[in-house]
Structure 1
Amino acid sequence: MKKIGLLPRLIIAIILGILFGMVLPEPGVRVFATFNGIFGEFLGFAIPLIILGFVAPGIGDLGKGAGRVLAVTAALAYTSTVFAGTMAYFANISILPLFITEGALSTDLTAEGASAAAFIEISIPAVMGVMTALILAFTIGIGIAATGSKTIKSLMDEFQTIISKMISGIIIPLLPLHIMGIFANLAYSGQVFQILSVFSRVFVLVIILHLTIIVLQYLIAGTLAGANPFKLVKTMLPAYFTAIGTQSSAATIPVTLAQTKKNGVNEGVADFAIPLSATIHLSGSTITLVSCSVAIMLIAGMPLSFGTYIGFIMALGVTMVAAPGVPGGAVMAAIGLLQSMLGFDATLTSLMIALYLAQDSFGTACNVTGDGAIAILVNKFSGHKLLPQTN
């Protein structure tokens, strides 16, 4: 029997959660609330470990490479990621309030009359705070890159493997059950259909923003390189659709690389820029994270300011480097920032994960398509001209 993918499992979980929340009595919904409380505590415990396990070796890896070309590629990828997030912020705060009632969601899952409470509560304190984990990860990662320490790098790589197994073996398999419980509680409290309405509208807006940033990236790259940007985009379409199917930038690298070379990028530049961009250029994922978080903050009635969000976006560009090689890796790496910088609680974090994962394939497709534009710019700044495009 073919294994059901994560996205279909999440959709099934949402449907079942709504049905259970509408038909089960309060004790039945409280069972879900109990599981959600325990799982939420475990997720909070795991967040600092995820940050440390992936950000530190990810930054350490940037110490390898070809000097100036590495710096140019990293700068272009980071600029593109931050620009995409900033564009998404202004688009969302301008459009979403037209369709979303601010403060419509009650996030207090223990308030009487709002939703069912857990039978028991178990506290699982994290070994360190989120900001402590971020600073420690930056310190270790920069230290590895600066000193070339093989021992610490090997230790962090092995720790990353352990954390990746925890994500793929525990968190991801239990996530549909957690989402089911969240939607059961939302249905029980009468808020679920408003959430689904928000989900559908955000989904459409995110896809439009993805397509917009791809066009902008290739307009800039094509103009500077002296090529037709729309022909460049057309050549990259196989990579876009492959990424939708794989949900992985890394798994799509062979296709992205082949299509980038067909666009006339120097072979050596493409061989370097595409694999690197697959881990550090995340414009599509940033658009999705910003859009989903703005929508959730609006319905939760939380304050939105550009000063807070620009810091969040700039931090995303770093923390998502070498995000876990599992579906939803970017949102897992961003959970710490969502909680520490935007003030998300366990309920909002769970909704964020569900909303993000529903669009993860399209964010990945946007990422890898944009990698081709980054390679064209690196090709230009390296002194190469685009070769004639090939079929």
Structure 2
Amino acid sequence: MTASSPSLLLRLKRLSLVAQIIIGLIAGIALALFAPEVAKSTAFIGKVFVAALKAVAPILVFVLVMASIANHKHGQETHIRPILFLYLLGTFAAAVVAVVASMLFPSSLVLATHDVAVTAPGGIGEVLQSLLLSVVDNPVSALMNANFIGILAWAIGMGVAIRHAGDTTREVLGDLSNGVTLIVRLVIRFAPLGIFGLVASTLATSGFGALIGYVHLLAVLLGCMLFVALVMNPIIVFWKLRRNPYPLVIMCLRESGITAFFTRSSAANIPVNLELSKRLGLHEDTYSVSIPLGATINMAGAAITITVLTLAAVHTLGIAVDIPTAILLSVVAAICACGASGVAGGSLLLIPLACSLFGIPSQIAMQVVAVGFIIGVLQDSAETALNSSTDVLFTAAACLGEEQKAQRLA
């Protein structure tokens, strides 16, 4: 018995991280089914894992971006511009997919009076204002509150300033970056255990009983996200690379999307995405900026959530939607999704803003937000998985595409 235990642990250790995560997932489901009371006590394990990821993500982004810019050599291409274009294109395309799906498969909601103690933004200007204030946030406050827009702004500014410092200072910054990265890898190694705790406690506590009344709405939401992940994103990647996109798409979904699905936090998944980018051989100067930037503005899943729930309210109230209004909704949803990270509560609290395009009063719109919170167990998980995996996908596609272009020109 004693001799077999180390052998089993050794075999588990030799498995890939993804295989270990799948084992943790299956074990969590089994525990929730057969011993729900025990499964509830595993919530602490999941909370510790997510808290650890959230703790290392801000300092990792700050140090990594600052070190990359400080040590950046003149003449090196970072490909940030094509990545930004892919982020915006992907988010807008997701909103268009959601509009089409909502018209083909309209959803109806049971709207009643709900007391939702949240405050939605008053307009797009307020969302953009919130983003601008995030840029000029105090650096200590930005690190404490995981404000990645502010962290990026300060990291870029400090990196540019330190480029003019001595070689020793830049070397120390590089060593600090390596040290933080090592800590992050250690945290990620505990992902199978963390996901085991998250899955077991979530299923044992809430289950999926509350979602039965919203099967159709969830089917449209999740169907849109799957379509974007498996059809729309591959089309965009194929356009950029001119080769079979699915090996890259599946890798990003498997190694980034699974973790993001269970942590339900783009910020917590930043370390996972940075590690995956490194293994893909992407340039550090590029992914150290594009991954945290993507966690704040690349929000295809959020655009789908805003659009589908808004059009569900529109259909319930019997409001006609013409093509120009549908296009306008896609644009507004894409802009709102990019600003979702700057608003407390994320994408759900931007639904009233989109509803205002159709003259839907905030009292009714906030009921739709309440529905969003009810289905959030699946909606938020799938949304985060799509958002986060797409960050790596588009970063890799842009980098590889620009490298191919350079080779052709050479």
What TM-score does the superposition give when structure 2 sets the normalisation length?
0.54
In structure 2, the partner of 1:80 is 90
Root mean square deviation of aligned Cα: 4.4
Pick the aligned partner of 1:234 from 241, 250, 267: 250
Question: How far apart in 2 are the matches of 1:160 and 1:318?
Answer: 25
**Residue type matched to 2:256 in 1?**
A
Pick the aligned partner of 1:295 from 303, 306, 312: 312
Pick the aligned partner of 2:122 from 130, 134, 146: 130
- In the TM superposition, what is the alpha-carbon distance from 1:368 to its structure 2 partner? 1.1
Pick the aligned partner of 2:224 from 200, 205, 209: 209
Could you report, residue by residue, the CA deviation over 1:212-265 in whole angstroms, capped at 9, with x for unpaired residues?
111231343146325542211232212111111111111111212222343443
Question: How far apart in 1 are the matches of 2:275 and 2:80?
Answer: 20
Tell me the secondary structure at the aligned position of residue 338 of structure 2.
coil
In structure 1, the partner of 2:60 is none
In structure 1, the partner of 2:234 is 218
In structure 2, the partner of 1:94 is 104
> Contact (CA 8 Å) 1:106, 1:300: kept in 2 or not?
no
The answer on 1:377 being equivalent to 2:397 is: yes
Tell me the secondary structure at the aligned position of residue 304 of structure 1.
coil
Deviates more, 1:321-330 or 1:263-272: 321-330
1:31-50 maps to which residues of 2 (within 5 A)?
none
Question: How far apart in 1 are the matches of 2:101 and 2:216?
Answer: 13
Task: State the identity as a percent.
Answer: 19
Call closer, same or farther: CA 1:335–1:345 in 2, change over 3 Å. Answer: closer
Question: How far apart in 1 are the matches of 2:403 and 2:290?
Answer: 15
Unaligned residue ranges in structure 1 (runs of 5+): 6-64, 110-115, 119-123, 165-194, 387-391
Question: How far apart in 2 are the matches of 1:221 and 1:198?
Answer: 36
Question: How far apart in 1 are the matches of 2:137 and 2:342?
Answer: 18
In structure 2, the partner of 1:28 is none
Tell me the secondary structure at the aligned position of residue 137 of structure 2.
helix
What TM-score does the superposition give when structure 1 sets the normalisation length?
0.56
Question: How far apart in 2 are the matches of 1:161 and 1:367?
Answer: 23
Unaligned residue ranges in structure 2 (runs of 5+): 1-39, 45-68, 148-209
**Residue type matched to 2:240 in 1?**
L
In structure 2, the partner of 1:343 is 360
Question: How far apart in 2 are the matches of 1:159 and 1:374?
Answer: 26
In structure 2, the partner of 1:321 is 338
Question: How far apart in 2 are the matches of 1:327 and 1:78?
Answer: 22
In structure 1, the partner of 2:294 is 277
Q: How many residues align?
A: 270
Question: How far apart in 2 are the matches of 1:233 and 1:319?
Answer: 25
**Residue type matched to 2:93 in 1?**
F
Pick the aligned partner of 1:304 from 321, 325, 328: 321
